[in-house]
Amino acid sequence: MSKVYAVVVVGSGIVGLAITRELRRRHPDLDIAVVEKESGPGRHQSGHNSGVLHAGVYYKPGSLKARLCVEGKASMERFADEHGIPYETCGKLIVAIDDSELARLADLEERGRANNVPGLKMVGPEELREIEPHAAGIRALHSPGTGIIDFGRVVEVLAEELRRDGVDFYFDHEVTGLRRVGDTTVVETPRGEVLGRRLVTCAGLHSDRVAAMDSAPDVAIVPFRGDYYTLTPEARDLCRGLIYPVPDPSLPFLGVHFTKRVDGSVWAGPNAVLATAREGYRRRDIDLRDLTETVRYPGFPKLARRWWKVGAQEIWRDVVKAAFVKDLQKYVPDVRSDQLVFGPSGVRAQAVGSTGDMVDDFKLMVTDRSVHVLNAPSPAATASLAIASRLADDVDRAFSLREHAGGGPAS
């Protein structure tokens, strides 16, 4: 008969692996399995992100993002130190380019201090250019503790650690259904069933679909593709660390920025356009099922009506390189079009409610036998180890895991 795991985790992105690690640390006697539709871990959002270790400046004080980002960054740096994963504390400048942005910049400083972000400092144009000689702006908020890391490498190390600790991985097992038989949840896949007493799903771009197999979520994923340009090697000295705009709180996304990478490359972007496929990393990628689900979701027309002008601007900037370059030159005037090579791209899993509102914070759905992560946007990678600790608390309260130590045959 089939083995019954105490916990089955669906999804091997950084959040799924982090929660599996936390459960393993708390309950070393439990049999745990990870089910993943891809052939390896971290193939989507965890492997298609900018690699920034966020310090916690942006987030509303008291929110899960704010609390878990600061805690999670410290945990991630300790993890990296313990496992020899390179990272760099290169710092970030959030740059105001005119007087209209100064009040919002001051508000950001207040937020950062309320969130206990270390070392924050407001700098004028001279000090700004000492930090980033090629940056333009009249004032900037300097976050010296912001860093960069390769989250793809973090995912690899987490998976290696979990294998050594006895966690079973089922790669190439796409979840097609969930059903309950007695006290067991049957995870159905084309390659066979995986059985578990309790279920945790961290399915990222497909989180709403997987959750809907178990219980009706109150949000749906609307995917947004973000395209970057990469600076040519000879242009990399235009950016020493991270150069970011002052975010407009009335807009759903941050705007283009410059991001140094741990390999020395520099990315410029991203924009944010509606993705016509949940895993559509190229402009020409279209998945009719994904697109149909998006446009038929009741919250999407409301979202589109609210943000159509912004959406049109993002599309224009996506297809017209000169428009993209013009926005980049607001922050680094010396950058030229011939110094920018298109790519890479990522797709953000954005949870949207039926009212058309984008879910800004982390969001869970908890039942008596399952915990579903419905929304884990940036800074989820930075905060993943702290998110895992919080999730494990929820799992422990909901599931009484100590009652399920060890595996057994299916009943």
Strand partners, 292: none
Determine the distance from the C-alpha atom of residue 121 to the mean position of all C-alpha atoms in its chain, rounded to a whole number. 27
Here the tokens at position 254 are 């941050």
Contact between 359 and 219 (Cβ < 8 Å): yes
DSSP 204-245: GGGHHHHHHTTS--SEEEEEEEEEEEEE-GGGGGG-SSEEEE
The predicted pLDDT at position 402 comes to 52
Q: Which of 295, 293, 304, 292 is nearest to 357 (CA)?
A: 304
Contact between 36 and 170 (Cβ < 8 Å): yes
The predicted pLDDT at position 64 comes to 87
Q: Which of 51, 2, 363, 31 is nearest to 202 (CA)?
A: 363
Q: Give the integer Cα–Cα distance in Å for 149 and 345.
A: 18
The predicted pLDDT at position 411 comes to 32
Class of domain 1-51+150-218+359-411: alpha beta
Here the tokens at position 96 are 């105001």
Helix (H, G, I), strand (E, B) or coil at 112: helix
State the angle between helix axes of 64-83 and 151-164 in degrees (0 to 180), rounded to the nearest 10: 70
Determine the distance from the C-alpha atom of residue 236 to the mean position of all C-alpha atoms in its chain, rounded to a whole number. 25
The predicted pLDDT at position 254 comes to 84
The predicted pLDDT at position 174 comes to 98
Can you give 30-71 as a three-state secondary structure string? CCEEEECCCCCCCCCHHHCCCCEECCCCCCCCCCHHHHHHHH
Q: Give the integer Cα–Cα distance in Å for 200 and 203.
A: 9
Residues in the chain: 411
Q: Is the N-terminal amide bond of 379 cis, ω within 30° of 0?
A: yes
Contacts (Cβ under 8 Å, ≥6 apart) of 118: 55, 144, 145
The predicted pLDDT at position 367 comes to 87
Please list the residue range(s) of the chain that carry CATH number 3.50.50.60: 1-51+150-218+359-411
* DSSP class of 101: G
Sheet strand arrangement including 87-88:
52-53, 147-149, 87-88
State the angle between helix axes of 380-399 and 64-83 in degrees (0 to 180), rounded to the nearest 10: 100
Other CB atoms within 10 A of residue 352 CB: 23
The pTM score is: 0.94
Class of domain 219-353: alpha beta
The HSE-up count of residue 338 (CA atoms within 13 Å, CB side) is 1
Q: Are strands 192-201 and 3-10 parallel, antiparallel or unpaired?
A: parallel
Please list the residue range(s) of the chain that carry CATH number 3.30.9: 219-353
The predicted pLDDT at position 409 comes to 40
Q: Is 116 exposed, middle or buried (0-12, 13-18, 19+ CB in 10 A)?
A: middle
Here the tokens at position 384 are 């993943």
Q: Give the integer Cα–Cα distance in Å for 75 and 58.
A: 19
Q: Rg of the chain over CA atoms, in angstroms?
A: 22
Contact between 205 and 38 (Cβ < 8 Å): no
pLDDT along the chain (411 residues), means of 10: 90 98 95 98 95 95 91 97 98 97 97 96 98 98 98 98 98 97 96 96 98 96 97 98 91 88 97 96 97 98 95 93 97 98 96 95 89 93 95 81 49 32
Determine the distance from the C-alpha atom of residue 140 to the mean position of all C-alpha atoms in its chain, rounded to a whole number. 25
Determine the distance from the C-alpha atom of residue 182 to the mean position of all C-alpha atoms in its chain, rounded to a whole number. 35
Give the helix ranges, DSSP H, for 243-379.
Answer: 288-296, 299-319, 321-329
Q: Is 39 exposed, middle or buried (0-12, 13-18, 19+ CB in 10 A)?
A: exposed
Other CB atoms within 10 A of residue 41 CB: 24
Here the tokens at position 166 are 């006895």
The predicted pLDDT at position 34 comes to 98
Q: Which of 379, 302, 272, 293 is nearest to 53 (CA)?
A: 379
